Amino acid sequence: MQQKLEVYKEILRRLKESNHEEANLPGFDDQLWTHFNSLPTRYALDVNVERAEDVLTHKRLLRLAHDPANRPAIEIRLVQVHPTSDDNSTDSSLQDSPSKEAAQRKNLHPPPAFGSSPNLEALALEANKFDDQDGDNSEYADSNFFRPTHEITFSTYDKPKLLSKLTSLLADIGLNIQEAHAFSTVDGYSLDVFVVDGWPYEETEQLRQALVKEFSKIEVIP
């Protein structure tokens, strides 16, 4: 409980300092604590405190899921995975290399909401290795390496084997799961977060439509 409380306080502090509109609403402090308290301690330990706004996204999706008309509540975004062992020192001779523009574009996206797993670490290291080898051919590198990485968050009514059904759903539309985090709330709802690749486009609307279509085929809503 102490660890959960410490993370809650840090998230609250960051949201207040950033002057986030929702954080200034009456009763927000209690609502945020209710959110943390409804989820297992593992959620607080895994969430990236530097991305405090992601907690608000999770809070919003869980709230939406209480209405059957909104299930599943889905959030999709592009994310960028960075290796923890990344060397920030860059040779000045590479600053104007043809691959610089592609690298900058890939660095525009936020990191995943939760801590990086070995799978994500390997994916990020692969990206860096490819850039080092093919930095003199940015067009080739951009088209052949840059596989968009998406983070997909589901919230719905929790049921047995829900995680298994969701992973099968993602596989059915050709997505490769690099990381998954599944949480159940004390009042019977789920928050499932997947980091995936395999969707060839950066845009998210077509991916959302594909997910909704597949979701309708599985009985996860009571």
Structure tokens at 216: 């309708």
Each residue's pLDDT tens digit, 117-129:
555 554 444 544 4
Nearest to 212 by CA among 78, 77, 72, 76: 72
pLDDT given for residue 220 in this prediction? 44
pTM of the model: 0.80
- Considering only 15-24, 62-71, 80-89, 136-145, which range has the smallest mean pLDDT? 136-145
CA–CA gap between residue 215 and residue 169 (Å, rounded): 7
Compute the mean pLDDT over every residue in the chain, rounded to the nearest whole number: 82
The kind and range of the H/E element at 193 are: strand 189-197
Task: Retrieve residue 82's tokens.
Answer: 């960075």
- Cα 59 to Cα 19, 30, 69, 165, 215: the distances in Å are 18, 13, 17, 23, 21
CB-count exposure of residue 141 (10 Å: 0-12, 13-18, 19+): buried
Residues 32-48, mean pLDDT to the nearest whole number: 97
Instruction: Give the separation between CA 86 and CA 92, rounded to whole angstroms.
Output: 17
Could you tell me if 169 and 215 are in contact, meaning their C-beta atoms sit under 8 angstroms apart? Answer: yes
pLDDT above 90 as % of the chain: 68
Decide: 196 and 152 in contact? Cβ < 8 Å.
yes
Q: Which of 197, 184, 178 is closest to 116 using CA atoms?
A: 178
**Residue 84, CB half-sphere, CA atoms under 13 Å: how many?**
7
- Name the residue type at position 125: L
State residue 113's pLDDT score: 94
Tracing tokens 């080739």 back to the chain, one arrives at 140
- The predicted structure's pLDDT at residue 217: 83
- 130, 175 Cβ separation under 8 angstroms: no
In which residue are the tokens 């104007």 written?
A: 96
Phi, psi dihedrals of residue 47, rounded to the nearest 5°: -65, 145
- In degrees, rounded to 5, the angle at the alpha carbon of residue 125 between the alpha carbons of residues 138 and 142 is 20
